[in-house]
Homo-oligomer: A and B are copies of this chain.
Amino acid sequence: MAVTIEDIAREAGVSIATVSRVINKTKPVSPELRARVYQVIERNHFKPNTLAQGLVTKKTNMIGIIVPDISNAVFGKLTKGINSICSKKGYTMMVCESQGELKNELRLLDIMEDKQIEGLLFAGVDVNHTLVKAMLEKSYPVVLVTQEASEDEGAVSTVVHDNVTAMYDAVKFLLDNGHQRIAYLGGPKNDFSSGKKRLKGYRRALEEVGIEVRDSYIVQGEFSFSSGFEGMKTLYEENSKLPTAVVAGSDVIAVGAIQYLDSMRMKIPDDISIMGFDDSDFATYFKPELSTVRISYFDEGEKAARMLLRLISGEQNEPAVDYVPHKIIRRSTTKSLN
């Protein structure tokens, strides 16, 4: 069906070796032959079969990406960042969705191996020992992105933002603005980096200034609007003494909380301050605009992709950890009490 290197060789009156050489510029070929071969290639729209190439060279120019949820904006940005640098280097991405379930993640790790990817970018929810072990056994290098490993720390390369410090800074910001009663409305308990770590940052900031962290001020749920709404409801109903500010585990959660407060006729930020996390696109779509901590997932994707490429090329050999900066964005859902 498709035209092969052999067809070209025959038509150009040379050996397939020569054709291969002009394609890959791997060894000198006389100008005349080269020209002749190029002609025939053009005329026939010849494109080498990458499967055959990969079979012998072990280079497939494909990298894999595993994310929990393809349609989630965070992973969309991340993937875009990854793509921006990979496509530039001639790599194509195979992207898969794990739903954040270990079973799927393990299966995809295998599938990726079958497909002979050259490297993998992995965004997980809880990268535990089982997962790390499986990754280490694979034939390709992997870099964790967005989530560091929860066990076997440092065993596999990682590019993340510092969740502990990011949330610490958010709380600190509120503290500096005179807030004392600050609640935490976070994501899943079992989410290592975006759940546990952020909560840790919250705790640390409070403890550092000697404020007691009360359990009734901590609500964990999902990274969703409805979870933010319900969580805020819980906070509202279970605390006779309401917090003056709440830090949310994500912008969507923050917005859900705002809507609940709105339904209770609470004014933001006058009655209560709300701080988001991520700086999603929609953070400035409505009034009051959301104060939040900005994470550039696009940059994170780029950085991770660069590291993976270094690992693939052998330019880098040891696992490394790289951090992407975050930034507190003060907008209109937070108010100073000073």
A225 touches B49 (CB 8 A): no
Query: Does A334 reach chain B (CB closer than 8 Å)?
Result: no
Query: Does A47 reach chain B (CB closer than 8 Å)?
Result: yes
Which of B51, B73, B94 contacts A73 (CB under 8 A)?
A: B73
Query: Does A79 reach chain B (CB closer than 8 Å)?
Result: yes
A114 touches B76 (CB 8 A): no
Query: Does A77 reach chain B (CB closer than 8 Å)?
Result: yes
Interface size on A, residues (CB 8 A): 49
- Give per-residue flags for A250-269: 1 if the beta carbon is below 8 A from chain B beta carbons, else 0: 00100110010010000000
* Copies of this chain assembled into the complex: 2
A–B Cβ pairs within 8 angstroms, 9 of them: A47-B113, A47-B114, A51-B55, A83-B96, A83-B97, A94-B94, A255-B285, A255-B286, A259-B287
Query: Does A52 reach chain B (CB closer than 8 Å)?
Result: yes
Query: Does A199 reach chain B (CB closer than 8 Å)?
Result: no
Query: Does A209 reach chain B (CB closer than 8 Å)?
Result: no
How many angstroms between the C-alpha atoms of A71 and B281 in the bound complex? Answer: 11
B287 touches A262 (CB 8 A): yes
Task: State how many angstroms separate the Cβ of A279 from the closest Cβ of chain B.
Answer: 14
B80 touches A47 (CB 8 A): no
Query: Does A325 reach chain B (CB closer than 8 Å)?
Result: no
Query: Does A15 reach chain B (CB closer than 8 Å)?
Result: no
Query: Does A213 reach chain B (CB closer than 8 Å)?
Result: no
Question: Chain B residues near A298 (CB, 8 Å)?
Answer: 71
Question: Chain B residues near A48 (CB, 8 Å)?
Answer: 114
Query: Does A50 reach chain B (CB closer than 8 Å)?
Result: yes
Question: Chain B residues near A139 (CB, 8 Å)?
Answer: 1-2
A114 touches B285 (CB 8 A): no
Interface residues of A in 61-78 (CB under 8 A from B): 62, 69-73, 76-77
Query: Does A60 reach chain B (CB closer than 8 Å)?
Result: yes
B93 touches A95 (CB 8 A): yes
A94 touches B2 (CB 8 A): no
How many angstroms between the C-alpha atoms of A259 and B93 in the bound complex? Answer: 38
Beta-carbon nearest neighbor of A104 in chain B: B87
